[in-house]
A and B are shown apart, each in its own frame.
Chain A
Amino acid sequence: MEALEIARWQFGITTVYHFLMVPLTIGLGLLVAIMHTAWYRTGKDQYLRMTKFWGKLFLINFIMGVATGLVQEFQFGMAWSEYSRFVGDVFGAPLAMEALLAFFVESIFLGLWIFGWGRLPKAVHLLSIWCASLATICSAYFILAANSWMQHPVGVEMIDGRPVMVDVWAVLTNNTLLVAFPHTIFGAISVAGGFLLGISWYHLWKRRRDGIDTVGADGKVIVGSEPSRGRDAADHKVWLRSLRIGAVVAVVSFAGVSLTGDLQAKLMFDQQPMKMAAAEAACHDGTGFSILSVGDLGSNDCADMVAVVELPGMLSFLANGDFDTDIRGINTLLPEYQERFGTHLPDDPIYGERAGTEIDYVPVMEVTYWGFRIMITFGMLAAAAAAVALWVVRKGTVPESKWLMRLAVFGILAPFGANSAGWIFTEMGRQPFVVAPNPDPDGIDNVFMFTAAAVSPGVSLGELIFSLSAFTLVYGTLLVVEVKLLAAYCRGGVPAAMPELLHEPSTESAKKDDDGGPDGGDGTGGRGKDSGADDVLSFAY
């Protein structure tokens, strides 16, 4: 093991982990803002409950995204100082814009939203969740601008061996970015869709198990009620509405993911042909999309790779929109890369001990091949399941089957898996480059960087091993804590976020007395709060 490999593992682990929290934050934030809007406009109780419940889960998850995001911001300089020096002129700008234009809005307005129940005027309170939600989307744009520049550098000139930004507009409208951004946002929304669907299914199932809701002779639900307001008829509305929103969102966002993914693939066939060839384990030129290839993917050796099942013409369609264009395989691409970028790393001190070693232009095929397929499969499965779920609940509730409920709950993981697999594919597929060369005829020559040159020369193997172990240990522990906490709040249902529901149906004054616990506001917005003799916080840590 050398420092470079540890640094790469660390970046991979911390980034994939961070990106478990990010899509849920982006997707759920948007849905909570929409629920809050529905409550603001209709005043209906179920929308308030939905806002509070999903808002609570949103916050539990949000903080983990924030906490692990800081690691990303610092890690470039800490472990990848040569990278930071090389790209700083163009790469740092979108990061700084993200902090200044998105992170501030996100965190400050979220603070206003969390603590603003019963204190802010209703419209301002609603505005604050929208600001926070849109800021998370905005931050995705900036960080994807930075990432897209690594995939497809634009807007720079080489001066003194470093890319210097000459056109910020080109960086912010990089065609790679324009498809990666909607692809990522749709992917994030699909995560939130599956999340709503799985948890709501569980609660509808539990209401049936406990005999609250029953099904009539015509198959339609007969909504029942328990004395506790936590399990009244409105509670049924909360879950059914949430489930339908989640399912519709999952289906629609999958359509969005597919369309943008298609555009992205077509771009990638041009911009990083080797990545797409490796996604296919396609050694020879051809038109077919591999369903199953045999051979030792791990050996990365083209000699023994055979596509056993393939869809004729499909690869050509993915890349070009027709069925008979030969797509260049690895055997064709490899000599082209070797001719342009050399067969061995140059004798430059920036490569340290790696100087002069042979360059492997073929990404790790077992990762790219399966990453690409896992992404697509999980995405499709989640969307198909959501469509089926929508049909299953057409009469107002879910079946009594425990297994179906479990499937719905574990199905939450599928869109997460698709997101992670997609990122692992696209980042590993870019190797051995950290900044991939821009092959456009009018692109910039010589702007590329081998990952081998990017790592911090001054940071020792021991330091990296320490940090990798520490981050992995802490992240692993916190993941367990977060999932347990989320599960407890999910099981608790709406009263977990609105404990006042557990008490008797109450008058306004009685409510005020036991206005207890986190998020416990009575939902009356800015009215009537200042007149109270007490000044009990409507939200308190």
Chain B
Amino acid sequence: METLPTVWFVVIAFFWTGYLFLEGFDLGVGMMMRGFARNNTERRVLLNTIGPVWDGNEVWLITAGAATFAAFPQWYAALFSGLYLPLVLVLLALIFRAVGIEYRGKVDSDRWRAGWDWAIALGSLVAAFGVGAMLGLTTTGLPLNANGDRVGGAFAWFNGYAVLGGLAVVCFCLVHAAAFLMLKSDGEIRLRAKAVVLRWLPVALLPMAAWAAVLVLRNGKAVTVVTLLIAAIGAVAAWLLAKAGRDGLSFTGLGIFLVAGTVTIFTAVFPTVLPSTINEAFNLTVDSASSSDYTLGVMSVVALFGIPAVLVYQGYTYWVFRKRVSSSAIPAAHAVVVQ
């Protein structure tokens, strides 16, 4: 194994983990716009807990994609073209969701708001499922030929792992969002969020745990058993702490579950970045898929300055907007008055 490709595999795993941790809760909050939130004020509370931060969270996805392009062009080309249709749906979902969040409050009409509520909820759901399916498949494989092209038609990617990965991310997002609302909202919403966490956390984390467990079994690395155990401990701690009313620590517990879970997943598959289900010889690995050392070196310098800076100023926004959002904090809606 060469050093720089390995470093960049870790960097990309880091971007995906950051994405799931950050956008995880705002995708979940988006899904809860229908079903969980009961009226317009509650929906506005939900949106405003993620309002200042969701767009920055989504950049983690762009960065994960762009970094894959720069560091592992073969991986990027095979994965993105192989999953053409699901990614089209993810893109459309993210478009509807983003526009919905921004436009929903811009016209004072129930129909307008209801339409965008559905756009946000379904957009968040489809995006989370699609990203999950993509991650599930990059760890378990696609029918790729020697050139890295998908064979077998537009739906050849579809299998149980796609569903498992999709479910894993959707369910995680939901429980992560409930824990986030417990931490960031107040009053009745906070109580209901707590009830969701206590009731659903044990079930909702199972698909992701199952996905990680499958990879642990398939690849048989001892260390991944340990990280999987840490993930389980994080999940149990998150539940117990939620019950004890320690919102911040419970959210942290979920974070530990996620980080240990993705570490398990990426460690288990390393050094394969995208297996071929047709022939093992066609597997893309960190070495066979990577850019030149010069390019990776340049990107390493950029990342060395860029990533800490992002963590600092993104952390700062979370600190600035650290207050809980309650129903009473929501100003009245107003119509755009045409003079």
Which residues of chain A have C-beta atoms less than 8 A from B62's C-beta?
69-70, 73, 99, 103
Q: Which of B73-127 contact A (CB under 8 A)?
A: 73-74, 76-85, 87-88, 91-92, 94-96, 98-99, 101-107
* A88 pairs with B74, CB closer than 8 A: yes
Whether, in the assembled complex, B44 has its beta carbon less than 8 Å from a beta carbon of chain A, the answer is yes
Q: Contacts A104-B59, A165-B292; is A74 near B87 (CB within 8 Å)?
A: yes
For residue B330, which residue of chain A has the nearest CB? Answer: A540
* B56 pairs with A104, CB closer than 8 A: yes
* A457 pairs with B149, CB closer than 8 A: yes
A296 to nearest B CB, angstroms?
38
Which residues of chain B have C-beta atoms less than 8 A from A68's C-beta?
95
One digit per residue, 1 when the CB lies within 8 angstroms of any chain B CB and 0 when it does not, for chain A 7-48 equals 000000000000000000000000000000000000000000
Q: Contacts A89-B291, A536-B329, A537-B331; is A459 near B55 (CB within 8 Å)?
A: no
For residue A500, which residue of chain B has the nearest CB? Answer: B334
B308 to nearest A CB, angstroms?
11
Q: Contacts A73-B62, A100-B307; is A111 near B78 (CB within 8 Å)?
A: no
* B82 pairs with A458, CB closer than 8 A: yes
* B154 pairs with A66, CB closer than 8 A: no
Taking a contact as CB atoms closer than 8 A, the residue among A76, A466, A471, A495 that contacts B85 in the complex is A466
Whether, in the assembled complex, A264 has its beta carbon less than 8 Å from a beta carbon of chain B, the answer is no
Whether, in the assembled complex, A450 has its beta carbon less than 8 Å from a beta carbon of chain B, the answer is no
A514 to nearest B CB, angstroms?
8
Q: Which of B253-306 contact A (CB under 8 A)?
A: 291-292, 294-295, 298-299, 302-303, 306
Q: Contacts A93-B299, A458-B81; is A536 near B330 (CB within 8 Å)?
A: yes
Whether, in the assembled complex, B244 has its beta carbon less than 8 Å from a beta carbon of chain A, the answer is no
For residue B306, which residue of chain A has the nearest CB? Answer: A100
A471, B66: Cα distance in complex, Å = 21
For residue B55, which residue of chain A has the nearest CB? Answer: A107
Which residues of chain A have C-beta atoms less than 8 A from B98's C-beta?
63, 66-67
For residue B102, which residue of chain A has the nearest CB? Answer: A63
Which residues of chain B have C-beta atoms less than 8 A from A85's C-beta?
73-74, 77, 148
A63 to nearest B CB, angstroms?
4
Q: Which of A98, A104, A168, A231 has the most CB of B within 10 A?
A: A104
A489, B292: Cα distance in complex, Å = 50
Which residues of chain A have C-beta atoms less than 8 A from B313's C-beta?
104-105, 108-109
Whether, in the assembled complex, A115 has its beta carbon less than 8 Å from a beta carbon of chain B, the answer is yes
Whether, in the assembled complex, B208 has its beta carbon less than 8 Å from a beta carbon of chain A, the answer is no
Instruction: Give chain B's interface secondary structure class.
Output: helix
A62 to nearest B CB, angstroms?
8
* A82 pairs with B77, CB closer than 8 A: yes
Pick from A277-285, A384-392, A516-524 the stretch touching chain B. Answer: A516-524
Whether, in the assembled complex, A474 has its beta carbon less than 8 Å from a beta carbon of chain B, the answer is yes
Taking a contact as CB atoms closer than 8 A, the residue among B55, B61, B81 that contacts A456 in the complex is B81
Q: Contacts A100-B306, A458-B82; is A489 near B336 (CB within 8 Å)?
A: yes
Taking a contact as CB atoms closer than 8 A, the residue among B47, B77, B294 that contacts A84 in the complex is B77
Whether, in the assembled complex, B248 has its beta carbon less than 8 Å from a beta carbon of chain A, the answer is no
Whether, in the assembled complex, A222 has its beta carbon less than 8 Å from a beta carbon of chain B, the answer is no
Which residues of chain B have C-beta atoms less than 8 A from A492's C-beta?
336-339
Which residues of chain A have C-beta atoms less than 8 A from B76's C-beta?
76-77, 84, 88, 92
Taking a contact as CB atoms closer than 8 A, the residue among A91, A96, A110, A488 that contacts B67 in the complex is A96
Which residues of chain B have C-beta atoms less than 8 A from A165's C-beta?
291-292, 294-295, 298
Which residues of chain A have C-beta atoms less than 8 A from B102's C-beta?
59-60, 63, 541
* B77 pairs with A96, CB closer than 8 A: no
Q: Contacts A110-B55, A517-B331; is A60 near B306 (CB within 8 Å)?
A: no
Which residues of chain B have C-beta atoms less than 8 A from A112's C-beta?
52, 317, 320
Which residues of chain A have C-beta atoms less than 8 A from B48's C-beta?
537, 540-541
B114 to nearest A CB, angstroms?
15
Whether, in the assembled complex, A496 has its beta carbon less than 8 Å from a beta carbon of chain B, the answer is yes
Q: Which of B130-170 contact A (CB under 8 A)?
A: 145, 147-151, 153-154
Which residues of chain B have C-beta atoms less than 8 A from A78's C-beta?
80-81, 83-84, 87-88
* B306 pairs with A101, CB closer than 8 A: yes
Whether, in the assembled complex, A116 has its beta carbon less than 8 Å from a beta carbon of chain B, the answer is yes
Whether, in the assembled complex, A90 has its beta carbon less than 8 Å from a beta carbon of chain B, the answer is yes
Which residues of chain B have C-beta atoms less than 8 A from A458's C-beta?
81-82, 145, 149-151
One digit per residue, 1 when the CB lies within 8 angstroms of any chain B CB and 0 when it does not, for chain A 452-482 equals 0000111110110011001100100010010
Interface on A for B, CB 8 Å cutoff? 59-60, 63-64, 66-71, 73-74, 76-79, 81-82, 84-85, 87-93, 95-101, 103-105, 107-112, 114-116, 119-120, 159, 164-166, 168, 206, 230-231, 456-460, 462-463, 466-467, 470-471, 474, 478, 481, 485, 488-489, 491-493, 495-496, 499, 502, 514-518, 520, 534-537, 539-541
Given contacts A460-B153, A495-B337, A541-B48, 17 further A-B contacts (CB under 8 A): A66-B55, A85-B73, A89-B291, A92-B73, A93-B299, A95-B66, A107-B59, A111-B53, A459-B81, A467-B85, A474-B95, A474-B96, A488-B338, A492-B336, A492-B337, A520-B334, A537-B325
29 A-B pairs in the complex with CB atoms less than 8 angstroms apart: A59-B102, A63-B99, A66-B58, A71-B91, A78-B80, A78-B83, A78-B88, A81-B81, A81-B148, A84-B73, A85-B74, A93-B295, A93-B298, A96-B67, A101-B302, A105-B313, A109-B313, A114-B52, A115-B52, A159-B292, A165-B291, A458-B149, A470-B88, A471-B88, A471-B92, A488-B107, A536-B330, A536-B331, A541-B105
Interface on B for A, CB 8 Å cutoff? 44, 47-48, 51-53, 55-56, 58-59, 61-63, 65-67, 69-71, 73-74, 76-85, 87-88, 91-92, 94-96, 98-99, 101-107, 145, 147-151, 153-154, 291-292, 294-295, 298-299, 302-303, 306-307, 310, 313-314, 317, 320-321, 323, 325-326, 328-334, 336-339
Please provide the 7 A-B residue pairs with the shortest distance between their CB atoms, ordered closest to farther: A88-B73, A77-B80, A92-B70, A458-B149, A517-B334, A92-B69, A81-B77
